[in-house]
Amino acid sequence: MNSANINNDPDSNLVLNATGIDKSYGTRKALNAVDITIKSGEFVALLGPNGAGKTTLFQLLTGLFVPDAGKIHIAGINILKNAVPALAGIGVVFQQPTLDLDLSVIDNLRFHASLHGLNRNEALVRIDEELGKLKLTDRSKDQARSLSGGQRRRVELARALLHRPQFLLMDEPTVGLDPSSRRDLLSYVLRLKQERQMAVLWASHLVDEAEQADRVIILHKGEVLTTGAPARLVKETGMNDLHDAFVFITKED
Q: Would strands 167-171 and 199-204 be described as parallel, antiparallel, or unpaired? A: parallel
Q: What is the pLDDT of residue 71?
A: 96
Point out the domain boundary residue: 164, 186, 212: 164
34-69 burial by CB neighbour count: b if 16+ within 10 A, else e? bebbbbbbbbbbbbbeeebbbbbbbbbbbbeeebee
Together in a domain, 171 and 160: no
pLDDT average, residue stretch 168-183: 92
Together in a domain, 119 and 44: no
Together in a domain, 107 and 194: no
Q: Residue 200 and residue 170: Cα distance in Å, rounded?
A: 8
Q: What is the pLDDT of residue 252?
A: 73
Reported as a single tens digit per residue, the pLDDT across 133-163 is: 999 999 999 999 999 999 999 999 999 999 9
Q: What is the pLDDT of residue 7?
A: 38
- Nearest residue to 133 via CA among 115, 113, 158, 114: 158
Q: What is the pLDDT of residue 13?
A: 83
Instruction: Let me know if residue 28 belongs to a domain.
Output: yes
pLDDT band at 11 (very low <50, low <70, confident <90, very high): low
For residue 227, the domain's CATH number is 3.40.50.300
Q: What is the pLDDT of residue 8?
A: 39
Instruction: Let me know if residue 95 belongs to a domain.
Output: no
pLDDT at 12 over 50: yes
Structural domain boundaries enclosing 139: 100-164
pLDDT at 4 over 50: no
pLDDT at 9 over 70: no
Point out the domain boundary residue: 118, 139, 164: 164
Q: How far is CA 116 from the centre of its chain?
A: 19
CB 217 within 8 A of CB 243: no
Q: State the total domains in the chain.
A: 2
Together in a domain, 115 and 220: no
pLDDT average, residue stretch 239-244: 96
Q: What is the pLDDT of residue 30?
A: 96
Together in a domain, 160 and 176: no
Q: What is the pLDDT of residue 210?
A: 96
Together in a domain, 111 and 230: no
Q: Residue 54 and residue 34: Cα distance in Å, rounded?
A: 11
pLDDT average, residue stretch 69-85: 94
Instruction: Let me know if residue 223 belongs to a domain.
Output: yes
What's the burial of 212, exposed, middle or buried (CB within 10 Å: 0-12/13-18/19+)?
Answer: middle
pLDDT at 2 over 70: no
pLDDT band at 173 (very low <50, low <70, confident <90, very high): very high
Q: How far is CA 14 from the centre of its chain?
A: 15
pLDDT average, residue stretch 190-208: 93
- Nearest residue to 153 via CA among 90, 88, 98, 213: 98
Together in a domain, 227 and 106: no
Residues 6+ apart with CB under 8 A from 144: 99, 100, 101, 102, 103, 104, 105, 108, 152, 155
CB 225 within 8 A of CB 218: yes
Residues 6+ apart with CB under 8 A from 85: 77
Together in a domain, 66 and 180: yes
Percentage of the chain beyond pLDDT 90 is 86
Instruction: Let me know if residue 105 belongs to a domain.
Output: yes
pLDDT at 31 over 80: yes
pLDDT band at 208 (very low <50, low <70, confident <90, very high): very high
Together in a domain, 23 and 71: yes
